[in-house]
Every structure is written in structure tokens, then in C-alpha cells.
Structure 1
């Protein structure tokens, strides 16, 4: 799930865009329904478009690789080499954010070996990691996909700041310069999947506030909790990561 531990752009600071409590209350039920629909999709083998290309998945706050196992398995069935981030439960950055991200970039570089390139896919807070690692390793990351990641938002755009405090025992810091930097996409093709039905984070915060040459936003119909197995998300991620015909 998402946290303001990587606080983001000031554009939302003056306006509370936190999702309606009615959406938040129905998140578990909607996620369960999406799981049922995913089972129907599971019966159909996806088109084998991956060609062995490597993909690394980053989970949301308070979750681990199990939360994205359906997506990882779907990508494997589509012919990708799909890896989890290898860091266990996502508790948010520890200590200095930049130093922590540098260590994560080094760990991911080693994890994808022997592959030279790897696309990065992150759910919620994990999407911040994917974007920032792509800035550190642009020559090695051909594509970044974020799923329900409020990179254009702030503390008033999410319901789960309490979870970060529970896991870390401290409040998230709100540094303006860091927020503005994190709002800028990496210099590689970057896609944000967002849902207006997201009950945890503001959908507006999951879209790019400015026009960027290589960044785009794609809407899906999904709960926040169910994005790791929502059929639309599974299909979109697979199609976005598939090599273009000219590359096949």
C-alpha cells in the first residue's frame, strides 16, 4: 500500500483529494470480486509475447512478493522472466532516502543478472522505487510501469499514512524538494495505471500533472487492494511490456 514516506508534489498540498470513505470501505469486497474474475482469466493462457525479457516487481507498503504473485505468474506464463524485488516486506525507505535507493538499485542490478536490461513494475509505494531506480539506471531500464502510485500527490491524497507510522514507528517527512523531484518521471518510457475507483489513494495523484514526452497515463477499473490480480491490470501490464513488432 502507499505511504507518504516518499512525499510528493506540492500541487495537492492545498487540496484534500483523499478518496471517499465509501470507496475505502468497499475495497476488500471489490478486491475479492476481482480475484474471482482473475480466476476466469487464469483459464486462458496469455499470448507468449515476453521472449524471456526480465521484469522486476516491487510490492506496496506493508506487503511482500505474495501480493504481486498473480501478476508475476501471469507474466511468466506470457514468456517473461519475472522477478520479485528480493527485499521481503516493503516497510518503506529506511534512513536517508537517496542512500537507501542507491542500495536498492545495486541489489536489483545484481538480482537481474545475467540480464543486462529489466523493465520495472511497481504497485503503490513500489512504483516510486521503480521510477527512482530507472533514473539511476536509465541505460538498463527499457520501461517503467506504476500501478496505483500517487507520484503527483501528497499526504492528503492517501488513507494509509497510519500504516507507515505503524511499520516504522515515526512520521513521514514532507520535504518539498524531494516531492518535486519524485513527481518527475524517469527518462525512459513510463506508464501509470490508475483507477478512479481506487479507495486508498487519489486517482488524480496517480496521473502526470505535466506533459512529458515518454510518460503516459492509462485508466483501469480496479480497487487499490486488487490491483495485483485485477484482470485489466494483468492484461495492460503484459501488453505494455510486450516488445513492439519491429523488435520481435
Structure 2
């Protein structure tokens, strides 16, 4: 049965995100500040092997929007590159030739395959590049990129068509190929709180070398600077060339990254992780340890839960509450 939230009943189409989510995109500023505060922790991510990484900005964005991502990956040992094509005004057919030339330039200068990190529309470009030149692409990571299902389920469709002069319905075969399986490993990072694109349009078909990673509470505008998304990108790019394994429990940053139906569990080998020093104690980056320490330090949350449960008992079961209090007074 179709979900009413996805579109008109029986239509099988997806709807753009709600207006409330779109207005909440301003929280991207807090995500950026969180990355700055957590920078010592983020630097504990797996380090790269120095291979080149090309960062592709989203619609109406420029290289400046990907500067934090490039800076972070550069600190981890990668050779980062901007796309140098000005502001992204859209147009898949128009940008394809220039992007392939830029990819060939980086590949020729380094002599190594290039990993592609694309934000929003930049992720669509990245997947298209992997199809056009798989011999030059090592890995593809997309951030909130609407390439699957109903790609019109965004709050920017009308603006995109007006600026780019290209209709979303055009190039149906190319869009179908981009949504399919790539000849290189790929990861799609998305958020259910995305206020610009419907998160279902960011889901690829999981396979032996493709996976989806959800980040809690992230906005569309803030995905490129979200601390959990930054960690996920660094961890994915650190895989040796020609190898792929899913994001496992010990590899995940314990911040807004859920484990869904065993999606991140894998019987494949796990890379060893170094513990994080915190007030002289060694902490492993696991969800279980994060919950334990959060419960231990968040006194306000514990008091709030106790007060709320007591208030609920008084409201829902007044007879039992009075009887209990009378027995206590008699004693």
C-alpha cells in the first residue's frame, strides 16, 4: 500500500520534503560548529594513502562550499582537488565534457585513480563520471545526492530547470544508468532530515561494493560539514584500492549514525582502531561505549526521565499513587 507521505495515494511518486524540514536547513551552521569542536576526535579517523580526491560541489555552490571537506581530507593525507569550474549551475550534458577533462588532468598528473566526493548535484556528476571513465575512478562517495527513484522529489526542481535550462525528465537513459550499479565501489550518505531532497532518492541498491550510510539529524546544506558525515567519508576513502567492506560497528563515529537491521554488520575483516584518549582514559569509538558514557554524564537527562515517569504515574494511575503514599505514611 503506498505511503501517504510519499505522494498521492496510488500515484507511486515521491513528494518533496515538508516545509518544516526546508526551514530547518539553517541548522547547518550548528553542524559546522560541531565539526570545529570535534576536530580532535575527527582527526582520529583512518588516514589516507595519498591518492587524489576530487570534490564536486552541489547545485548553485562553488569550490568554497567544499573547502572544509578538502581541508579535512588533506589533513588526513589525501591529495585533494577542487573542480575549478566556477559555480555549479547544473546541466548534466553541458558539464560532462569539462568534468571528464578535469578528471583526466588529475589522473594524468598523479598517475593514480581518483576518488570522487560529490555533494547533492555534485554526487550525480560523480556517478556519471564513474560510468564514463571507470578506468580513472577509484571510489565514489555521494552526500545527499538525488539520483534514484523519483528525482523530481526535491524542493529545488523548479529552480534547477530554470537555471540550467534542462528538464529533469530529459536524458532518461542516463538517469537510469546513474541510478544503477557502478563499475567502482560506491557509498551514498543521506539523512532522513534532509529538507531539500527526499531521502529515498539518495538510496542505492546495496551490493558487494555499494552501501548506504544514514546520518541522524543532518541537514542537506550541512551534510558536507557534518562531523559524522566527514568521518564516514574519511573511513570509506581509506579502504585499499580494489577492496571494499561495509562500515562496521568499531569504524563508526558514535554521533548520529544508526545501525539499521544489521546494515553495518559484516563478516568481512575489520581494521583495528586506535582508542581515543579522554581525560586519561581510553575510549573506543563504538555505539555501546558512547551510550554508556552519555548516560553516565548526562545527569539532567536522567533527572528529567525520572520526573516525567513520576508525573505520568500520578496522572495515569492516581489511585495506585495515593494508596502507595498512604501505606508509606502509615509506616
Shorter-normalised TM-score: what interval? 0.7 to 0.9
Determine helix, strand or coil for the equivalent of 1:143. strand
Question: What corresponds to 1:102 in structure 2?
Answer: 97
Aligned partner of 1:36 among 33, 36, 48: 33
Report if aligned partners of 2:59, 2:120 keep a CA contact under 8 Å in 1.
yes
Mapped to 1, the partners of 2:147 and 2:220 lie a distance apart of 15
In the TM superposition, what is the alpha-carbon distance from 1:171 to its structure 2 partner?
5.1
Q: Please list, as runs of the form range in 1=range in 2, the aligned pairs for 1:144-223 lying within 5 A after superposition.
A: 144-168=140-164, 170=165, 172-175=167-170, 176-208=172-204, 210-221=205-216, 222-223=218-219
Q: Deviations over 1:173-228 (max 9, x none)?
A: 413323322211321101000111111101111002x4543221111121000011
Report if aligned partners of 2:42, 2:231 keep a CA contact under 8 Å in 1.
no
In the TM superposition, what is the alpha-carbon distance from 1:67 to its structure 2 partner?
0.7
Q: Deviations over 1:227-247 (max 9, x none)?
A: 111001110000100134998
Distance 1:213 1:45, change over 3 A: closer
The more displaced of 58-67 and 109-118 is 109-118
Q: Does 1:18 align with 2:13?
A: no
Distance 1:195 1:137, change over 3 A: same
Q: How well do the aligned residues superpose, as a CA RMSD in angstroms? A: 2.4
Report if aligned partners of 2:206, 2:212 keep a CA contact under 8 Å in 1.
no
Report if aligned partners of 2:141, 2:189 keep a CA contact under 8 Å in 1.
yes
Report if aligned partners of 2:55, 2:66 keep a CA contact under 8 Å in 1.
yes
Gaps of 5+ in 1: 1-12
Mapped to 2, the partners of 1:244 and 1:181 lie a distance apart of 26
Mapped to 2, the partners of 1:64 and 1:139 lie a distance apart of 27
Determine helix, strand or coil for the equivalent of 1:157. coil
Report if aligned partners of 1:61, 1:125 keep a CA contact under 8 Å in 2.
yes
Report if aligned partners of 1:49, 1:243 keep a CA contact under 8 Å in 2.
no
In the TM superposition, what is the alpha-carbon distance from 1:100 to its structure 2 partner?
4.0
Gaps of 5+ in 2: 1-10, 244-270, 272-331
Distance 1:246 1:83, change over 3 A: closer
Question: What corresponds to 1:230 in structure 2?
Answer: 226
> Bigger radius of gyration, 1 or 2?
2
Q: Deviations over 1:142-171 (max 9, x none)?
A: 110000011113353100023324433x35
Mapped to 1, the partners of 2:36 and 2:200 lie a distance apart of 30
Report if aligned partners of 1:131, 1:185 keep a CA contact under 8 Å in 2.
no
Q: Deviations over 1:29-56 (max 9, x none)?
A: x101111101112245614611211100
Mapped to 2, the partners of 1:78 and 1:188 lie a distance apart of 23
Q: Which has the higher contact order (CA 8 A, sep 6+)?
A: 1
TM-score w.r.t. structure 2 length? 0.64
Question: What corresponds to 2:60 in structure 1?
Answer: 62
